[in-house]
Amino acid sequence: MNLTTRHMAAFRQRLNPLNTQVEWLVNEDTYDYHQEVANAGFGDMLHDKERNQKYFIVIKKTIASMRAEGQEVHVLDIGTGTGILSMMALYVGADTVTACEAFVPMANCAEKILKANNFGDRIKLIKKRSTDIRIGEDMERKANLLVTEILDTELIGEGALAIYNHAHANLLTEHALCIPCKATCYAQVVQSSLAAQWNSLKLLVNLDGDVLLKPSPDVLNCSGEPSVHDIQMSQLPLDQIKPLTHPIEIFEFDFKCKEPIDVQRSRNILVKAFIPGSTDLVFFWWDIKMDFKEEVLLSCAPFWAHPNFKELKVKSSPRLPLTNVVPWRDHWMQAIYYIPRPLKLTPSDNEFILNCNHDEFSWWFNVFPNESNNFEKQTKRHACLCRFHITYSRSRIGQINQAQRNKRYLRFLENNIHKDSNVLVLGHGCILGLACCSLGASKVWCHEPHKFSRHFMESLVQYNKLNSVYLVESLKDLETEILNSLTHIIAEPYFLTSILPWDNFYFGYLLTKISEKLNRLVKISPFAASIYAVPVEFLDLHKIKAPVRECEGFDLSLFHKMVEVSMSISQAKVEAHPLWEYPCRALADPVELLKVEFRRFDIDKHHQGEITVKEPGLCNGVCLWVDWFLDKSGDSKSVVSSGPIASIIPGEFIKWDMFTRQGVHFIDNNQAIKANILEWSVIFKSKSAHLNFNFNIRHK
């Protein structure tokens, strides 16, 4: 008799962004486990060759040095992950190795990997947090060498300071060495109107430059959110950033020091700008000195500040963009921190005080004029009080400010809105809808069900004295008489529940709720939307999904199999990514997969086709986006795209919109070979509000 293992079924809630309804799905009771494994992000680190090689070099070098001094070597590996650092340590001669991992699925996988590499009985694996380990119970003795990787983009965001402090106090000997040994954090003060768009609200002006809407004082005077804006900084257009200072060393963290690391520090640094400008923001990154002699350096600097840029440039392929010459990693990026109130520096007044702060997990920055009473000044971590910065994502804030995009909407509005217009605006935080009032509309109703978004819109309405604007929490609040009187229904559209570009098709779903009560002559904008796709070759982004079978000579195929299974169970076929940060070459012309007209949104659609991958390259992904057609004209100036900002040319790198996230389907590495045909299908079911994509590689 054959016996098969059957898991219990479990119900799981999911918000469907196309209709904002909560759906109940039936999954195996292991679904949460698989989701945790699939999203853990260990694979990205294991593809970081520089990181892996330098860890291996320094572990070997350090253990050899300790051996030469007659020491036994007892290693503790905190947050072992796959066990790779533990295996390195034992392979090059450690006497004992203890590894700990609190993420149980990963710990179980590490246990199997250690056995597969014949280290199972020689590395002690503890499945708990290092702060819960007790000497004499979990560990036989204290370790004299700590190898760990518990850092993130902010360096300290994963609780590294507390972990190091606890380890030195409880788990390490008096003179224990640490790998990495020391970290240095850098700040560079920069002016950038482009980057500042992610944190501020600009004036909204018409096509003639006349002001339509002014930000309210509570938004203008708000300090904003201090939270990190992690970013692939090397991809920022150099002509859009203006460094005012050189990179400045702001803090060091000595990980080998037995004395506790301060978990909260503040420092004021007198800085002289080498060019006048506005202190809009701080670029932040760090480097680590891997060994106790501080000879091996790993830097997370953007390419223009990277200490090894010239050397790496000589060794790189001439086809590789300069922005991608330095080692790529998505687990350690760079960060932007926005200055609450920037200073305007002049040639004669170019010195200022840079105020740098960190607590146990995060950073914040400020600037003060160069005055004696400011040198001892400190600032608490600021917070958004206007609700604008905490309601909308960075990309949405930038989108609201995007001049070229707004021009296309305003051109449509100026040509269509008149004194007899009654307008319904569907979407969250649609200030373009408020502009209808400034353009002379008789009445404007804005559908704003979200409390904080409604608060922001109310502040704009009141400050700009838009007396004919009404904010409604629910469409049910609109009487039939009002709905029948509407001349226009407009949207960008944008909804807070949207993640992928087509999630904003929720606009069509809302229309179906009121369609029977509308005047048949009402104008709807956008009139339609199309989803486009193009097969691409990513330079790096595909690595977050690429298999990891081997790393520095160690067999990690069990890890790959575990992640592969979990991804097949829990991962969506299409993910959202800001593709301007991740260069890719087009391997074919873009193809329209689906077009919906919002007046006929209730029609189901099923399309399929194929794309010939005609350019040489590795087809490791498909990029998807939405174009919104504001009217029926077909005029390119009436199209707003969430995808490329210039025509796609096969074989060349795509220029993506910087204020939206596009969809990405990753091609399995086993299929991603040259000369393929990409088969695709898309099914749209309006009543259930489901949109499903399928992609498959067919070899020629």
Active site residues: 149, 158
326 neighbors 313 (Cβ within 8 angstroms): no
d(CA 657, CA 579): 8
Residues 6+ apart with CB under 8 A from 393: none
d(CA 449, CA 474): 6
Q: Which of 325, 342, 290, 245 is nearest to 540 (CA)?
A: 325
223 neighbors 423 (Cβ within 8 angstroms): no
Rg over alpha carbons for the chain, rounded to the nearest Å, is 28
3-state secondary structure at position 576: strand
Q: Tokens 């494994």 sit at which residue?
A: 37
3-state secondary structure at position 471: strand
d(CA 236, CA 452): 31
Q: Residue 81 corresponds to which tokens in the numbers above?
A: 């992950």
Half-sphere exposure of residue 265, counting CA atoms within 13 Å on the CB side?
Answer: 13
Q: Tokens 């749209």 sit at which residue?
A: 684
> Alpha helix locations (H) across 242-299?
none
Residue 616, φ and ψ in degrees, nearest 5: -65, 140
d(CA 154, CA 682): 40
Q: Residue 524 corresponds to which tokens in the numbers above?
A: 């709807």
Q: Residue 428 corresponds to which tokens in the numbers above?
A: 């969250």
Length of the chain: 700
d(CA 448, CA 425): 9
d(CA 624, CA 480): 38
For 291-321, give one letter per residue: b (16+ CB within 10 A) or e: bbeeebebbbbbbbbbeebeebeeeeeeeee
Q: Are strands 74-78 and 96-100 parallel, antiparallel or unpaired?
A: parallel
443 neighbors 468 (Cβ within 8 angstroms): yes
For 20-32, give one letter per residue: b (16+ CB within 10 A) or e: beeeeeebeebbe
d(CA 367, CA 354): 5
Written in H, E and C, the secondary structure of 165-210 is HHHHHHCEEEEEEEECCEEEEEEEEEECHHHHCCCCCCCEECCCCC
Residues 485, 490, 492: CA angle, nearest 5 degrees: 165
Beta bridge partners of 352: 271, 369
Written in H, E and C, the secondary structure of 629-666 is ECCCCCCHHHEEECCECCCCCCCCECCECCCCCEEEEE
Q: Which of 346, 350, 345, 353 is nearest to 369 (CA)?
A: 353
Q: Which of 662, 636, 350, 631 is nearest to 504 (CA)?
A: 662
Q: Where are the beta strands (DSSP E) in 372-433?
A: 422-426
- Rounded to the nearest angstrom, the gap between the alpha carbon of residue 186 and the centroid of all alpha carbons in its chain is 21
Residues 6+ apart with CB under 8 A from 154: 228, 230, 284, 335, 361, 362, 363
Q: Tokens 């932007």 sit at which residue?
A: 336
DSSP state string for 376-432: T---PPP--SSSHHHHS-HHHHHHHT-HHHHHHHHHHHHHH--TT-EEEEESSS-HH
